[in-house]
Amino acid sequence: MAAIARLAWTAVDCRDPRTLAAFYSAITGWPIDENASDADWVTLASDVGATLGFQRVDDYQPPQWPGQEHPQQEHLDFELDDLDSGEAAVLAIGARKHEVQPGTLFRVFLDPEDHPFCLILPGG
């Protein structure tokens, strides 16, 4: 099937774009792109094509996973080879491990603004 378009961005709603961008910069190693950022929108400079943008939203309400009152609608998965070392690293930069852990090939965390994200093993 021929592609209609290329994925360029994933935009994440939040209260504080700069702080959340710094958190995901620490996970991905992608620096903040100061030329494509301002107080309401912060972009990471990806070296793999598609990148992450963080946009300020007034009255932001974080998702509540696994509940449906404020569904997550989407989340980010980050692949790595060692869940234990990855867990230690994301906890050190401010993530919180979610109390619900439904699988063994991945772990669910919350970022500083309560977005769920997962660390996953290859094939997970």
**DSSP 8-state assignment for residue 36:** G
The domains spanning 7-57 and 68-124 adopt the same CATH topology: yes
Is 68-124 a domain of CATH 3.90.245.10? no
State the pLDDT at residue 69.
79
- Would you state the structure tokens that stand for residue 23, as one six-digit string? 């958190």
State the pLDDT at residue 62.
87
State the pLDDT at residue 70.
74
State the pLDDT at residue 6.
75
Give me the residue spans of the domains in the chain: 7-57, 68-124
- pTM beyond 0.75, yes or no: yes
Domain 7-57 homologous superfamily, CATH: 2,3-Dihydroxybiphenyl 1,2-Dioxygenase, domain 1 (3.10.180.10)
Across the 124 residues of the chain, what is the mean pLDDT of every consecutive 10-residue run? 76 94 96 92 90 92 81 82 94 96 91 92 81
State the pLDDT at residue 5.
61
**Ordered DSSP codes for 48-104:** SS-EEEEEE-TT-----SS-SSS-----EEEE-S-HHHHHHHHHHTT-EE-S----S
Give residue 9's identity as a one-letter amino acid code.
W
State the pLDDT at residue 72.
65
Whole-number Å distance between alpha carbons of 124 and 109: 15
Element (H, E) at 25: helix 17-28
